[in-house]
Amino acid sequence: MKAKRVWGLVLAAVMCMAVAGCGQKEAETASTEPQYQVIGTEAEGAYDILLKNSIGQDVTGISVKTSEEEEYPANMLASDAVLKNGETAEWFYMPEEAAETEGVGEKDVALNVVYQVQITLADGTVYELSALGLDDIDKNAELCLEDDVVFAKYTSKASGDAVSTKEQEVAAKAQKDAESQEAVTSEPAPVEEVQQEAPAQQSAPAASEPQQAPAEQIPQQTTEGCLTEGGGPAFN
């Protein structure tokens, strides 16, 4: 009987140690999880993306709009916040919502929406991700800068493949540059430049008026040398 009591105490002690050990392990795991800077507001239905800055300098502004919107909304970063180069932030973005379902009143997330993301850097340079499918990003995304374009790298939810939007952004930049150049060349030149470039036009000499022929002078007739009715010469 006494032996059973001893074994019971030993078993209880072992169980207590096991429970304490598990609790300590969970605490250590929680403390070692990385703590990310939060961009946006965590909410049900929001995209939750771990966004790493690999651009080469700090990011001071992030703004998102759909391709149908003309103006970007306010900066999602606080006025005194930056996403430092090399760091990762947890980025929450509430997607566009579809129209209310008829007869239900519920709203569904609009699928396949193309988002444009404006990125502002510490030196004031502004870049744009021209078409980013946030719904296809599998948790992690990386911002990079090459060939004067900012682009994103991520793993596609749909295919599981690694995706880079660099070629897409290079093409978008080339198109925008071509449109800007076309707009400049299509503008009318200032009046002064037109006058300088146009050859001086010499005015044609005015046509001379036709000269009138001198009036024919009719010799004055006199009675000198004429005969009178009587046949004699006439005397003045």
Distance CA 149, CA 211 (A): 78
Q: Pairing mode, if any, of strands 37-39 and 88-93? A: parallel
Mean pLDDT of the chain, nearest integer: 78
> Rounded to two decimals, what is the model's pTM?
0.64
In a domain, 15, yes or no: no
- In this prediction, residue 214 carries a pLDDT of 56
Whether 150 is in a domain gets the answer: yes
Please name every residue paired with 149 in a beta bridge, in sequence order, or none if there are none: 146
Cα–Cα distance list, 225 to 125, 185, 219, 229 (Å) = 115, 92, 15, 13
CATH number at residue 136: 2.60.40.2890
Q: Pick from 164, 76, 175, 57: which is nearest to 117 by CA?
A: 76
Residue 138 lies in a domain: yes
Given the structure tokens 């037109």, which residue do they identify?
Answer: 194
Give per-residue pLDDT as tens, 125-169: 999 999 999 999 999 999 999 999 999 999 999 999 999 999 999
How many angstroms separate the CA atoms of 227 and 204, rounded? 62
Residue 19 has pLDDT above 70, yes or no: no
Q: Residue 58: is it exposed, middle or buried by C-beta count within 10 angstroms (0-12/13-18/19+)?
A: middle
What's the distance, CA 59 to chain centroid? 17
Residue 175 lies in a domain: yes
Query: What are the tokens at 115?
Result: 């988002």
Question: Encoding tokens for residue 98?
Answer: 């579809």
How many domains, the chain? 1
How far is Cα 151 from Cα 134, in angstroms, rounded to an integer?
13
Each residue of 28-62: pLDDT tens digit? 545 577 899 999 999 999 999 999 999 999 999 99
CA 41-58-66 angle, 5° bins: 45
Give the pLDDT band (50/70/90) at residue 99: very low
> 222 lies in a domain?
no
**Length reported for the chain:** 236
| Dihedral pair phi/psi, residue 203, rounded to 5° | -75, 135
Q: In this structure, is residue 72 part of a structural domain?
A: yes
| pLDDT beyond 50 at 124 | yes
Is the model more confident about 108 or about 33? 33
Strands 47-54 and 137-146: parallel
* Percent helix, percent strand, percent coil in the chain, to nearest 5: 25, 30, 45
Q: In 3-state terms, what secondary structure has residue 11?
A: helix
Structure tokens given for 192: 């002064």
- The domain of 155 spans 37-180
Contact partners, residue 129, CB within 8 Å, separation at least 6:
115, 116, 117, 119, 150, 151, 152, 165, 169
* In-domain check, residue 25: no
**Position 55 in a domain:** yes
Instruction: Give me the sheet containing 88-93, strands edge to edge.
Output: 37-39, 88-93, 47-54, 137-146, 149-156, 162-164
Nearest CA to 36 among 77, 80, 82, 90? 90
